[in-house]
Structure 1
Amino acid sequence: MDRNQMIGLGLIAALLITYAIVFKPPVTEEDLATPAPTEQAAVTPEQTTSQSEESNVLTDTIETDYTDKYGAFAAGAQGEATDLTIENEVAKFTFSSKGGIIKSVELKEFKTWDGRPLILIDEESTSQSLTLQTVKGNINIADLYFKASQTGTSLVKGDSLQFKYTMDLGSGNSIEQIYSIAGDSYVVGYEIKINGLNSTIIGEQMNFVWQHQMKRYEKNLSDSRIKSTIKWYSLAEDLDDLKASSSDIQQEQLTEPIKWLSFDQKFFNAGIISEKGFTGALVSTDVPAQDTSIVKNGEMRLAIPVADLYSGSKNQYYFGPNNYRILKKVTPGYKENIYLGYKMVSWVNKLIIIPLFQFLEKYISNYGVIIMIIVLIIKLALFPLTRKSYLSMAKMKALKPELDELKEKVGGDQQKMQQEQMKLYREMGVNPISGCIPMVLQMPILFAMFFFFPNSIELRGESFLWATDLSTYDVLFNLPFTIPFYGSHVSGFTLLMTVSTILYTWSNNQVSTVQGPMKSIGYFMPIIFMFVLNSYSSGLSFYYFVSNIITFGQQAIIRRFVDEDKIRATLHENKKKNANKGKSKFQQRLEDAMKASQEAQKQKRSKK
């Protein structure tokens, strides 16, 4: 409360006190007189009996109304909603006696981007219905009342708890919902079982509907929306999802049995898993027009055979983080809630990067340092390829005088120039694409990192230097305006990555024979990436920056041990040896491909 507010409240209090004193009404003799006792009419036994009969009639009328509406479920239609909270080491689960369902889940180890408790589901954002077709019509048991066998409690690692919600309908009829929770797990076991009611339930399936508003937990709203969707995994082990990048309404009817479905967001998901599989699933999502606190609305409509309910339909819920180590233990395929890239690169993340990352975080708490160590390990492992690539460029540089002579000799005839170049390469024993092969072999790792860092929950909320969260963009300073495709902020790590990449390109051009437009492209690409990565994960930009710095160091070491004069002498020695030697199969195929390309160009020009 500031000074002005305190003064204002003081003046108001003074006015009220003055008003009470000055304008207090005078005390009269009537006010001081003791009031005479009021005579009450005596209540006769006949009147008491009459009131009791009226109450019984009212109760019977209410019971009849419930029976007419709910039939055999009438006993469950009356009750009071009470909450039950089970807390373990990682989450706080709140259940409600109304419906016997999970009412809310709070993840204890995480906060939203603005520091609030991370509530994954609650009664404002989530609703469930479990509808049975009965002789009295459709009955949603989520509207009825259950009795819990457990009171609220806390669990620790090593503990486990099973409890049930029972709706006793009399005459041996009942519905049970059985939950099980471990002391350190995000998984909630769930079984629903029907006892009796054979003549009451006439439908063949229970319709389960789960509507969920996926809340905003991250700073970047647009990124959160394009990474929020509904995913599902079939019993045939096929993964699919609704198109996450679209802001239009997405809907799909699933014809095959489904093992699990999830409301999947960038770092968290809420899902349901079936032991036998769901049938007749219908899923849909849409983006709210104005509400920026909700990234997407989602809905799942599933069918559970009633026959399974009589024996007990066993399922599981998952409410937790998209942590690869945790998800792969939940159920087959559930780890695919984390998108780690296309198949050609995802294996790098799954088999190399994630295990390495998890090993290092056991001993190092600073994730910026972990990133630097990972870069160093990868660069050391790839050093032989880096050395081979540099030596190939050095050989090409050693051939530059001969290539310049060919240009003067051939002139502007490009076809003739290409033929003479191939002949020179063959004589000198140089493979013109050998320098590219090591770079191509490194591409899966570079692309794997592009998917790993933005989707790694380990980096979420972790700070390093000026970056407050390595999973999203860092802000060195904000701009007073917005640059199209760039934004209104400057990412410091992206800027460092851009400058270091330009310097790296310049350094390579000192030993490269690339000329013309291709040489200029090397300088434009870092600028393009600066625009792309400015709002991307700062951890990724930092990784690329450190990678460039280590590459500079590696090249400096290689240069110390590379004698360009010796390379040139070796090439001329190769020329003497290969003077009477035939073409290799690879060289022959390369020349044949070039001739075919030249012939195609001639035919194209002749048609014009």
Structure 2
Amino acid sequence: MEKNQAVGLVIISVLLIVYMTFFAPKAPPKPAQEQQTTTASTNFSTIITPATIPDSVRAKTLGEFGALAQGTAQEVILENKNLRITLSNKGGKVDEVLLKNYKTWDKKPLILFDKVSSYADITFLTNSGKAIRLSDLYFKAQPVTNQNGAQVLAFSAEVGAGQSINQTYTLASDGFTLDYKVNFKGLNQIVANKPLTFNWNDRLKKTEFDLKQNRDHSRLNVMMAEDDFDYLVGKANETDTKKLETPIKWVSNKQNFFSAAIIAKNTFASGDLKVSFNQADTTEVKTFATTLAIPVNDVLGNGGEFTYFFGPNDFTVLKQLPFDFERNLELGWGIFSYVNKLLIIPVFHFLERFISSYGIIIVLLVLFIKTLLFPLTYKSYLSMAKMRVLKPEIDAIKEKNDGDMQKTQSETMKLYSEVGVNPMSGCIPVVLSIPVLFALFNFFPNSIELRQEPFLWAQDLSTYDVFARLPFTIPFYGNHVSMFTLLMTASTILYTWSNNQVNTSIQGPMKFYSYLMPLVFLFVVNSLPAGLSFYYFVANIITFGQQELIKRFVDEDKIREKLISNKEKNKNKQPGGFQKRLQEAMKAASEREAQQKKGSKK
């Protein structure tokens, strides 16, 4: 491995560790209790549910709406190809959402939302100062109708003559969205001119094998009307909060692979967000508490219109929703996100159409990307070959100047200029490949396509493979052995050793660091998805093969002849561009050092 390549490898590794340390999702908190509520447990993370008060007692406190506080709770079900949604006439709200085509990690039905773990309600104020919750009222469920292939369910609560609260749910025959409309008819003189409050408390269910990974990728996402995207992750046993005074387009309770979200057709006026979790509670992922303000004129007018999303974090699904909802999926920031959206995901989905094994798909994805980056690999190897040819002359310069680093660097740069070699050209291909490296680092942990997909000994490519379970925990490594990670590490060390045999310029500390980085990655990747470590393992093997192939076509004797020819032609040529500026900088530094030595002697 050339010195410049080794430096590039160190830089990549450091960037990766920095990225994981400072940009990976942090840990989470707990929602504060609201007035007139009771909690399901005494843990840090609790679900806030309405206080249990008899209907007859509650009716006396609701004024004009008292007659609606008594009734019998009944369930109504809406169902399509993907969702089975249970709604209740008490409150006219969603009680449960089942994702029909997915299972939890332990093969149980994947219920994303239910009335035990989640609670959603709308509260409004009357002109007499009473706070009325829709969950306190009983609605009359109209028969489910079919309109243009969609199921439509209407709930109505008659307050008086020409006065009613109406809620309508529409579920299309396909997809993961539930349209919702709430309209207050003839209630302008009763309802106060203040925003309604949408309260949503969601204690996320454990759906994945690796609780830590599930927590790390669970966050409360919010999109403001100004296209400003933000999120909360939180810290263990603490509450992380965010108060938003600007209009909001949507809020999403995002897990690793699934989300429950509400999207406003117009906007929510403002919002309060809270995130928490109890580190010791292995049944809980996180708890999200959201309070959103609904403009009263939306509800008193033609009705406030919203869309619920209950579904997978699949890019092809999310991008069909409005207001940049695909940002709910973690694909990296900046250029890394675009590499995933424009390159990795399209190729991955194209291969899915023809191949059922996701292990084979990963192999083909590696082949595609390595072929795409082959010109950079070739250029990097060519630069290494040129540096190997120049090594005897560079060693002679070092020996001649015997410890004078600045003079050595100056003469070395002059040599590079004469023979037409750019010492940075070996690093440039590595730098250009970094966007792909980080894009894949975001793609694999968030790819629902790999969820519960087995390959070889790995039961699930979306989480780490457990080849052996340790009876103890190794700090930063874990209590399991991932065979794909071991293969990745071994292939990297082998590849490094092979390069070091060819490149004798790597000595001392640089040689040590070239072997240290694979060991660092052993600890970094051990608890990451098996699909990611398998990708890197295959990539190492293919890169090794590419370099062996390139060796057969790169004649170092011809390179030497070319460099000698360049040296003859350019021996009187002045360096330009980057090399000229570098020489000038080194010359200035040398003069300053000489002046400092001269001053110290005086």
TM tier relative to shorter chain: 0.7 to 0.9
The correspondence of residues 381-530 of structure 1 with structure 2, limited to 5 A, is 381-512=372-503, 513-530=505-522
**1:121 pairs with one of 109, 113, 119:** 113
Question: Which residue of the other structure, out of 95, 119, 124, is the alignment partner of 1:132?
Answer: 124
User: Among residues 200, 204, 209, which one is paired with 1:210 in the alignment?
Assistant: 200
1:277 and 2:277 matched: no
| 1:351-392 C-alpha deviation (Å, 9 max, x unpaired) | 110111111111111111111111101111111111111011
Alignment of 1:595-606 (within 5 A): 595-596=587-588
The residue number in structure 1 matching 2:16 is none
Distance in 2 separating the partners of 1:76 and 1:301: 25
Which is worse superposed, 415-424 or 144-153?
A: 144-153
Of 364-373 and 574-583, the range deviating more from structure 2: 574-583
Relative to structure 1, is the Cα distance of residues 100 and 110 closer, same or farther in structure 2, using a 3 angstrom cutoff? Answer: same
1:558-597 aligned at under 5 Å gives the runs 558-596=550-588
| Contact 1:104–1:122 (8 Å) recurs in 2 | yes
Alpha-carbon distance in structure 1 between the residues aligned to 2:55 and 2:500: 89
Aligned to 1:32: none
Cα offset, 1:161, TM superposition: 1.7
Instruction: Please tell me whether the aligned partners of residues 227 and 244 of structure 1 are also in contact (alpha carbons under 8 angstroms).
Output: no
| Pair 1:184 & 2:184 matched | no
Matching residue's letter, 1:371: I
Deviations 1:546-583 (A, max 9, x none): 11111111111111111111111111111111112121
Aligned-residue CA RMSD (Å): 2.3
2:278 matched residue in structure 1 = 288
Distance 1:124 1:152 in 2: 29
Aligned counterpart, 2:536: 544
Q: 1:87 to 1:604 in 2, by over 3 A?
A: farther
Name 1:362's counterpart in structure 2: 353
- Rounded Cα–Cα distance in structure 1 between residues aligned with 2:215 and 2:322: 26
Q: 2 CA distance for matches of 1:507 and 1:160?
A: 62
Q: Where does structure 2 lack aligned partners over 5 or more consecutive residues? A: 1-53
The offset of 1:100, in angstroms, is 0.4
Match of 2:239 in 1: 249
* Aligned mates of 1:301, 1:277 — CA distance in 2: 14
For residue 258 of structure 1, the aligned residue among 237, 248, 258 is 248
Contact 1:228–1:264, Cα closer than 8 Å, also in 2: yes
| Cα distance between partner residues in 2 of 1:118 and 1:139 | 33
Partner of 1:190: helix, strand, or coil? Answer: strand
Structure 1 residues 417, 165: CA separation in 2 closer, same or farther (over 3 Å shift)?
same
Q: Which moved more, 1:284-293 or 1:467-476?
A: 284-293
Q: How far does residue 223 in structure 1 lie from its aligned partner after superposition?
A: 2.1
**Is the 8 Å Cα contact of residues 225 and 295 (structure 1) preserved in structure 2?**
yes
User: RCO (CA 8 Å, sep 6+): is it higher in 1 or 2?
Assistant: 2
1:96–1:374: structure 2 CA closer, same or farther, 3 Å change rule? Answer: same
**Equivalent of 1:81 in 73, 77, 99:** 73
How far apart, in 2, do the equivalents of 1:245 and 1:168 lie?
45
Contact 2:144 2:154 in 1 (8 A): no
Give CA deviations for 1:102-137 in whole Å, capped at 9, x if unaligned.
000011111111211111110101112211112261
The separation in 2 between residues aligned to 1:435 and 1:404, in whole angstroms, is 19
Amino acid at match of 1:163: L
Alignment equivalent of 2:297, drawn from 276, 283, 307: 307
Distance in 2 (alpha carbons) for counterparts of 1:561 and 1:245 = 55
Check 1:429–1:245 CA distance in 2 against 1; reply closer, same or farther (3 A cut): farther
Amino acid at match of 2:437: L
Residues of 1 paired with 2:474 and 2:139: CA distance? 57
Distance 2:451 2:586 in 1: 51
- 2:341 aligned with 1:350, yes or no? yes
Matched to 2:132, the amino acid is: I
Counterpart Cα distance in 1 of 2:382 and 2:58: 87
Scaled by the length of structure 2, what TM-score is found? Answer: 0.86
Q: 1:104 to 1:273 in 2, by over 3 A?
A: same
- Residue 83 of structure 2 aligns with an amino acid whose one-letter code is A
Long gaps (5+) in structure 1: 1-61
Q: Is the 8 A contact 1:204 1:306 kept in 2?
A: yes
The verdict on how the C-alpha distance between 1:159 and 1:151 changes in structure 2, with shifts beyond 3 A counting, is: closer
Between the aligned partners of 1:136 and 1:385, the Cα distance in structure 2 is 70
Aligned residue for 1:147?
140
CA drift at 1:218: 1.3
Q: Which residue of 2 aligns with 1:553?
A: 545
Amino acid at match of 1:451: N
Identity level (%): 50
Residue 199, structure 1, aligned to residue 189, structure 2:
yes
Say if 2:536 is the partner of 1:531: no
Equivalent residue pairs, number: 544
Q: Post-superposition, which runs of at least 4 consecutive aligned residues in structure 1 deviate over 4 A?
A: 62-68, 244-247, 596-607
Cα deviation for residue 240 of structure 1 reads 0.4
- Cα distance in 2 for partners of 1:421, 1:336 equals 49
Aligned counterparts of 1:267 and 1:102: Cα–Cα separation in 2 = 21
CA deviations over 1:326-374 (Å, ceiling 9, x no partner): 0011112110111111213111001110111111111111111111111
In our comparison, the structure showing a higher alpha carbon Rg is 1
Tell me what 1:41 maps to.
none
1:226 paired residue number:
216
Provide the C-alpha distance between the structure 2 equivalents of 1:207 and 1:284, rounded to a whole number of angstroms.
15
Which residue in 2 is equivalent to 1:29?
Answer: none
Cα distance in 2, alignment partners of residues 133 and 181 from structure 1? 30
The correspondence for 2:163, drawn from 165, 173, 183, is 173
How far apart, CA to CA, are the structure 2 residues paired with 1:179 and 1:133? 24
Corresponding letter in the other structure for 1:541: S
Amino acid at match of 2:286: K
Q: Deviations over 1:396-422 (max 9, x none)?
A: 001111122222212122222211211
| TM-score under structure 1 length normalisation | 0.86
Q: Which moved more, 1:119-128 or 1:213-222?
A: 213-222
Q: CA deviation at 1:602?
A: 7.4
Distance 1:327 1:245, change over 3 A: farther
Deviation at 1:511, TM superposition (A): 3.9
The 2-side partners of 1:168 and 1:511 are apart by 85
- Kindly indicate whether the alpha-carbon contact (under 8 Å) linking 1:174 and 1:195 is maintained by their aligned counterparts in 2: yes
- Contact 1:393 1:511 survives alignment (8 Å): no
Judge which range, 339-348 or 129-138, deviates more: 129-138
Secondary structure (helix, strand or coil) at the match of 2:151 reads strand
